[in-house]
Chains A and B, each alone.
Chain A
Amino acid sequence: QSVLTQPPSVSAAPGQKVTISCSGSSSNIGKNYVSWYQQLPGTAPKLLISDNDKRPSGIPDRFSGSKSGTSATLGITGLQTGDEADYYCGTWDSSLSAEVFGGGTKLTVL
């Protein structure tokens, strides 16, 4: 059971937009920055969004992040088949004194 809750799967058609939610609590998302990671099949996770809404160099602006209260959201616009991957949210949990992750969301681009 992950500390952060994500939907197991989402799907959308190419060119469309999708959002992935990440729900936590006052000890994690409520008081700390959220990051998002993309894990393409058979590869290591890659940082997609840091500090709630910042894109590292090289990440297209089709990817966006936001946070409100104890929840965060990853948005992906202009979906491409190459976006099919597992997406994870992560943050620091002040009660556990550790980084925690969501269970992951599998994105299918139909």
Chain B
Amino acid sequence: EVQLVQSGAEVKKPGESLKISCKASGYTFTNYRIAWVRQMPGKGLERMGIIYPGTSYAIYSPSFQGHITISADTSISTAYLQWSSLKASDTAMYYCARQGFDSWGQGTLVTVSS
């Protein structure tokens, strides 16, 4: 069974850094790209970027370019989404999803507040 299990909820202050994770199981991690999707409170889905785990090649959507970094560690079948300096507007639920969006993580709630 394909599973994506994400790290737990985070509460951070503006300017702090953060790295959240998405651990894959049930399939060959390097064969499928992983996408990160943002859902702001009460809003819709926005694709932030994708990574090809086999090569670590990441592509960012224009709205998120320069503000996030997507990476992967194939030795533990885990993808990451990180920020070096959080803003209050980064408060949202973040999902990882496998290529084709046929399997999603349970989501990680990130709250950024002073």
List A residues at the B interface (Cβ < 8 Å): 2, 35, 37, 43-47, 50, 56, 88, 90, 96-104
Residues of chain A within 8 A of B106, CB atoms compared: 43-44
Cα distance, A50 to B35, chains bound together (Å) = 17
B→A interface (CB under 8 Å): 35, 44-47, 59, 61, 95, 97, 100-107
**Smallest distance from the beta carbon of B60 to chain A beta carbons, Å?**
9
Chosen A-B contacts, 22 in total, with CB atoms closer than 8 Å, are A2-B44, A35-B101, A37-B45, A43-B106, A44-B104, A44-B105, A44-B107, A47-B101, A47-B103, A47-B104, A56-B102, A90-B45, A90-B101, A98-B59, A98-B61, A99-B35, A99-B47, A100-B47, A101-B46, A101-B47, A102-B44, A104-B45
Q: Tally of A-B residue pairs with Cβ under 8 A?
A: 46
B44, B97, B107 interface centre (most CB from chain A within 10 Å) = B44
Give Cα distance in the complex from A106 to B106, angstroms.
20
A50 with B100: CB separation less than 8 A: yes
A94 to chain B, nearest CB (A): 14
Contacts of A50 in B (CB 8 A): 100, 102
Residue of A nearest to B106 (CB): A44
Q: Which residues of A contact B95 (CB under 8 A)?
A: 44-45
* Cα(A50)–Cα(B106), bound, Å: 20
**Contacts known (A44-B105, A44-B107); A88 close to B100, Cβ less than 8 A:** no
Beta-carbon contact of A98 and B104 below 8 Å = no
A101 and chain B: residue at smallest CB distance: B45
CB-based nearest A residue for B60: A98
Taking the nearest CB of chain A, how far is it from the CB of B71, in angstroms?
A: 19
A71 to chain B, nearest CB (A): 18
Closest approach, in angstroms, between the C-beta of B70 and any C-beta of chain A?
Answer: 13
Residues in A neighbouring B101, C-beta threshold 8 A: 35, 37, 45, 47, 90, 99
Query: Which B residue's beta carbon lies closest to that of A45?
Result: B104
A45 touches B45 (CB 8 A): yes
Find chain B residues with CB under 8 A from A44 CB: 95, 104-107
Residue of B nearest to A42 (CB): B107
- Within the complex, the shortest CB–CB distance from B47 to chain A, in Å, comes to 5
